[in-house]
Amino acid sequence: KRRLRCLRHALRRVDQRTTKHVLKWDAKVSRKKGHLRKTLKQSLLKETRNIRLNSIEEIEQITQIEKYEEITCRSYIT
């Protein structure tokens, strides 16, 4: 649950931010001995498959919808 909150925060950021690039980056270089084989993207996708989200793009769409709903709710309150 905590990682998903962090993921939503990272996806709401501007496209030029490093955290957003890391989530969309596809590592094709083999790693040296002793380095982790999993990337942040792989571990997050494994966790999000439990809630039936299969790609970063699907998660990004949901965060954009939540952001829009949050903005419209604020405008009605004030």
Choose between 11 and 71: higher pLDDT.
11
Predicted pLDDT at 24: 67
Closest by CA position to 11, among listed 52, 51, 60? 60
Residue 22 above 60 pLDDT?
yes
Query: How far, in Å, CA of 47 to CA of 24, rounded?
Result: 16
- Summarize the confidence of residues 25-45 as an average pLDDT: 70
Each domain of the chain, given as residue ranges in start order, spans 2-25+38-77
Choose between 70 and 12: higher pLDDT.
12
Q: What share of the chain is helix, strand, coil (3-state, %, to 5)?
A: 65, 0, 35
Query: How far, in Å, CA of 5 to CA of 46, rounded?
Result: 15
pLDDT (tens digit per residue) in 46-66: 777 777 777 777 777 777 766
